[in-house]
């Protein structure tokens, strides 16, 4: 239960949910929705490793490739690469979210989504970083749990429900029942891997060298996991590997599907594997409730149809799939009494909230 003092503070203070994604970082503020949505990039001064820019401004510097600046994607592989960088990012986010308020208010309470399966040390690092970045109280929540709350799944109920969150670096699968996660899987195959597949495909099949941003837009425009009602063609520009000259090639959606098929198959196998370990009664629940897709990668064309066909359970894409984690994390404090048991505890003695 919240103490009366907490309740009083809660009326005036800012409750924010943070999604520290491998690709995008989002902040949701109670009553306002998503207030920050930026790529997860940090620019550091190379010599001192002092953070100088965060988000889209850091990403812009990346393309210019400055000599004395180091650009890092601190969460690229789903882990917190460096404490200072993560702290700098949280600092920036908490202050920016706090700044947008026009009345003087207490420091915010913050719920941060963390990838499932991170170590105790990493949890501690995020917790400490958020505290020293100015949060009054810090709570951690596993990303698939936050995603499920954000997607409106009945996670606190007895009956089963399932989410697949496909981000840039990781795909997380979670099955909920009796108010908690009963089965989960986390793999390092997601959107970034598909982009790399496309780069590779263009190189071997078309002798064309393209960058990851081009591959990503090709994936988003015409990539798919299931035959499209109308297959499409896209012109891709890059450098011909034989002549070394700029070149444009026509690529079909069928080819892009073929390019990313390996990664899509790995994701589908992970889903099947999770379902294999699921008790039969719970599978029965899922046949009723379906499978919810979240995260940017969950929006891949035809993925819901493909999963529906492969596992014989209806799959659908969450509304506003890319913001589920931040919105879900933000919602926890609103319904703290019911949702608090879904939060991640830190090991005893390491925190007052543990």
> Rounded to whole angstroms, how far apart are CA atoms 3 and 5?
5
Count of residues that interact with Mg ion, criterion CB under 5 A = 3
* By the rule CB under 6 A, 21 interacts with ligand ADP: yes
**Which residue, 150 or 223, is less far from ligand ADP as judged by CB?**
223
- Can you tell me which of 14, 16, 17, 22 binds ligand ADP, judged by CB under 6 A? 22
**8 A C-beta contact, residue 196 and residue 188:** no
* By the rule CB under 6 A, 192 interacts with ligand ADP: yes
As given in the structure block, the two tokens for residue 261 are: 């098929």
Count of residues that interact with ligand ADP, criterion CB under 6 A = 19
Contact partner, 299, from Mg ion, ligand ADP, none, Cβ < 5-8 Å per class = ligand ADP
Contact partner, 126, from Mg ion, ligand ADP, none, Cβ < 5-8 Å per class = none
Contact partner, 300, from Mg ion, ligand ADP, none, Cβ < 5-8 Å per class = ligand ADP
Q: Which residue sits closest to Mg ion, CB atoms considered?
A: 167
Nearest to 176 by CA among 156, 188, 191, 161: 161
- Can you tell me which of 299, 308, 350, 351 binds ligand ADP, judged by CB under 6 A? 299
- Can you tell me which of 17, 51, 169, 302 binds ligand ADP, judged by CB under 6 A? 169
3-class SS string, 225-261: CCCCCCCCEEEEEEEECCCCCEEEEEEEHHHHHHHHH
Terminus-to-terminus CA distance in the chain, angstroms?
14
* By the rule CB under 6 A, 220 interacts with ligand ADP: yes
**Which residue, 113 or 238, is less far from ligand ADP as judged by CB?**
113
| φ/ψ bin of 190: left (φ > 0), alpha (ψ from -120 to 50), beta (otherwise) | beta
**8 A C-beta contact, residue 298 and residue 321:** yes
- Can you tell me which of 16, 20, 21, 192 binds Mg ion, judged by CB under 5 A? 21
- Can you tell me which of 115, 167, 223, 297 binds Mg ion, judged by CB under 5 A? 167
What is the number of H-type helices and E-type strands within the chain?
Answer: 12, 17
* By the rule CB under 5 A, 108 interacts with Mg ion: no
* By the rule CB under 5 A, 74 interacts with Mg ion: no
Q: What is the side-by-side order of every strand in the sheet holding 137-142?
A: 33-39, 24-29, 15-20, 109-114, 137-142, 343-344
* Interface with ligand ADP in residues 276-295 (CB under 6 A): 295
Q: How far is the CB of 198 from ligand ADP (least distance, A)?
A: 10
* By the rule CB under 6 A, 51 interacts with ligand ADP: no
Residue whose pair of structure tokens reads 């003695």 in the numeric block: 349
> Rounded to whole angstroms, how far apart are CA atoms 37 and 353?
28
Nearest to 219 by CA among 259, 268, 267, 249: 259
> Rounded to whole angstroms, how far apart are CA atoms 45 and 197?
32
Per DSSP, 304 falls in state: H
Give the range of 65-73, 100-108, 166-174, 238-246 binding ligand ADP by CB under 6 A: 166-174
**8 A C-beta contact, residue 182 and residue 176:** yes
* Interface with ligand ADP in residues 315-334 (CB under 6 A): 322
* By the rule CB under 6 A, 219 interacts with ligand ADP: yes
* By the rule CB under 6 A, 144 interacts with ligand ADP: no
* By the rule CB under 5 A, 115 interacts with Mg ion: no
Strand 208-209 relative to strand 180-187, pairing: unpaired
Q: How far is the CB of 113 from ligand ADP (least distance, A)?
A: 9
Treating both helix axes as pointing N-terminal to C-terminal, what angle do 120-132 and 83-99 enclose, rounded to 10 degrees? 40
* By the rule CB under 6 A, 150 interacts with ligand ADP: no
- Can you tell me which of 191, 238, 302, 330 binds ligand ADP, judged by CB under 6 A? 191
- Residues near ligand ADP, by CB under 6 A: 21-24, 167-169, 191-192, 216, 219-220, 223, 295-297, 299-300, 322
- Residues near Mg ion, by CB under 5 A: 21, 167, 295
């Amino acid at each position: 239960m919240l103490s009366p003092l907490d309740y009083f503070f809660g009326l005036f203070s800012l409750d924010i949910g943070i999604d520290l994604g491998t690709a995008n970082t989002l902040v949701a503020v109670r009553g306002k929705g998503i207030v920050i949505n930026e790529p997860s990039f940090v620019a550091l001064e190379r010599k001192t490793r002092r953070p100088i820019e965060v988000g889209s401004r850091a990403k812009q510097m990346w393309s210019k490739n400055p000599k004395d600046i180091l650009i890092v994607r601190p969460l690229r592989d789903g882990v917190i690469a460096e404490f200072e960088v993560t702290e700098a990012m949280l600092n920036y986010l908490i202050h920016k979210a706090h700044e947008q308020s026009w009345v003087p208010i207490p420091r915010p309470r913050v719920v941060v989504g963390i990838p499932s399966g991170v170590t105790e040390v990493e949890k501690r690092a995020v917790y400490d970083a958020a505290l020293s970045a100015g949060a009054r109280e810090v709570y951690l929540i596993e990303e698939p749990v936050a995603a499920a709350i954000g997607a409106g799944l009945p996670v606190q109920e007895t009956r089963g429900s399932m989410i697949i969150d496909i981000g840039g670096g990781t795909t997380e699968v979670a099955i909920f029942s009796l108010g908690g996660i009963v089965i989960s899987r986390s793999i390092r195959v997601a959107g970034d891997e598909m982009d790399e597949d496309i780069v590779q495909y263009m190189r071997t099949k078309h002798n064309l060298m393209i960058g990851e941003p081009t591959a990503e837009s090709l994936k988003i425009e015409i990539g798919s996991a299931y035959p499209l009602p109308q297959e499409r063609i896209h012109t891709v520009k890059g450098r011909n590997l034989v002549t070394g000259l700029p070149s444009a090639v026509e690529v079909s959606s069928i080819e892009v599907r073929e390019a990313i098929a390996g990664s899509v198959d790995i994701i589908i196998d992970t889903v099947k594997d999770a379902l294999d370990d699921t008790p039969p009664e719970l599978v029965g629940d899922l046949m009723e409730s379906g499978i919810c897709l979240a995260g940017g990668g969950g929006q891949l064309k035809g993925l819901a149809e493909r999963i529906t066909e492969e596992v014989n359970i209806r799959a659908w894409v969450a509304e506003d799939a890319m913001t589920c984690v931040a919105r879900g994390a933000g919602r926890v404090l609103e319904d703290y009494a019911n949702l608090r048991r879904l939060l991640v505890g830190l090991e005893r003695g390491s925190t007052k909230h543990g």
